[in-house]
Amino acid sequence: LTELGVDVTDISFNTLTLQSDRFICVREKKSQREQVCIVDLKDTSKTFRRPITADSAIMNPENHIVALKAGRNLQVFNLEMKAKVKSCLMTEDVQFWRWLTAFDVALVTENSVYHWSIEGTESPVKQFDRHANLKGTQIISYCANAKMNWMALIGISASQGRVVGSMQLFNKDRGASQPIEAHAAEFSEIMLEGAPQPTQVFTFASRTATGAKLHVVEIDHVDGNPAFPKRSSDLFFPPEAVSDFPFSMQAGPKYEIVYVITKLGFIHMYDIETGVCIFTHRISGDTVFVTTKHENGILFVNKKGQVLSVIVDEDKVIPHILQNSGNVELAFRMASHASLPGVDQLYVQRFQQLMQQGKYNDAAKMAASSPRGMLRTENTINQLKHLQSQPGQLSPILQYFATILEKGELNRYESIELARPVLASNRKTLLE
């Protein structure tokens, strides 16, 4: 950021905001003149400044729209159209705010949490009152799930030489809150084997006086889905990082992993379903104070003004898991649902083992779900179509096609094979 003319003194939690991987917004003071610097992360040459006086400025996650706070006055401006979109006057000071979506802003006051839509004429709508466990804390994070019926508010405070995390987990359907000691949280979803629908999960991390943990719990269980057991895993901190704590979490839905970044710049990558730690490394020598999602990874800014990102190297993550943990099941599952290389030979071996053991339907499912369709070949189809079905079960070849059609489209070999019996019976309308 300093290469773009941003002064280090303007790089802090109170002056710099990061609402998405699209823009960074910095409030600057140059020779007693206040302005806002907006960095376009897709093309930093398009960085621009506007003379704006405000206590806080947050850029819309998608569009050239900025929300400004001056005292209790809130205003939203379209920078391209040079027009005010909406404004309101709060009855309380706003201690923390952020864009939840491209159309909704979350507002946290001393007593309550509100959601404010920039569409229509409606004023901010109160979602819930703050829990007593957040009294006297500095609010650092607020997140909600996609359905907006679960919300998590997090504040930190100093106590007995360490930073204590206080979280309020609120469920809108029940109108109930749960206080939890935690520093960071994230909502996400995973696809369990055999489940007709995704499983909604809530992950949170904490460092207490007795240790540091990552937790994964299911929310809003869907009938027909397998039950998801709560996961709890250790979160490693080196002995010298006495004051460190998990500062932020971001999910990578494609890989079904969660990134935990600490205040002192350590990154931890966990598999959500199992709670297994995949990777840990220090990636910043300076403290981190803002993060956001980025290409199924995480993007953040440190106190030096460095803008850094971590994403999965798709060619190396599966070999890394196999070499460092030997967790074959995790490697298989991640490779399958994210279509990653690295287990091709093992996949072929396991498929042949299932065939030799007579577990034809399991083999059919495995072939249909193979990474990058590596087993979805003419040879596999020929092996499966000549097998007999077990009583009360689909034939292996039908199981194969059913698994594929649940997830995507047929390839040319599969399309031809399915078309043959239809054409043989002269029922062309089925194809149409």
User: Is residue 239 classed exposed, middle or buried when 0-12, 13-18 and 19+ CB atoms within 10 A define those classes?
Assistant: exposed
pLDDT given for residue 83 in this prediction: 96
Cβ-Cβ contacts under 8 Å for 161 (sequence gap 6 or more): none
Report the greatest alpha carbon distance in the chain: 84
pLDDT band at 407; cut points 50, 70, 90: confident
Using alpha carbons, list the distances in angstroms from residue 71 to 53, 58, 66, 91: 11, 15, 16, 10
Rg (CA), the chain: 25
Q: How confident is the model at residue 425 (pLDDT cuts 50, 70, 90)?
A: low
Q: In terms of Cα–Cα distance, which of 237, 115, 217, 127 is closest to 175?
A: 127
- Taking the alpha carbons of 93, 96, 97, 100 in that order, is the dihedral positive or negative? negative
Average pLDDT over the chain reads 93
Q: Which residues pair with 203 in a beta bridge?
A: 186, 216
pLDDT greater at residue 419 or residue 49: 49
Q: Which H or E run includes 403?
A: helix 396-407
Is 354 strand, coil or helix? helix
**57-71: b or e for each residue (b if 16 or more CB lie within 10 Å)?**
bbbbbeebbbbbbee
Element containing residue 65 per DSSP (H, E): strand 65-70
For the segment 42-86, what is each residue's pLDDT rounded down to a tens digit? 999 999 999 999 999 999 999 999 999 999 999 999 999 999 999
Tell me the mean pLDDT in the region 12-16. 96
Angle subtended at Cα 261 by Cα 272 and Cα 65, rounded to the nearest 5 degrees: 100
Rounded average pLDDT over 27-54 = 93
Q: How far apart are CA 339 and CA 343, in angstroms?
A: 10
Write the pLDDT tens digit of every residue in 354-370. Answer: 889 988 888 888 888 88
Predicted local confidence at residue 429, as pLDDT: 63
Q: Inform me whether the pLDDT recorded for 94 exceeds 80.
A: yes
Kindly state the tokens that stand for 226. 């397998």
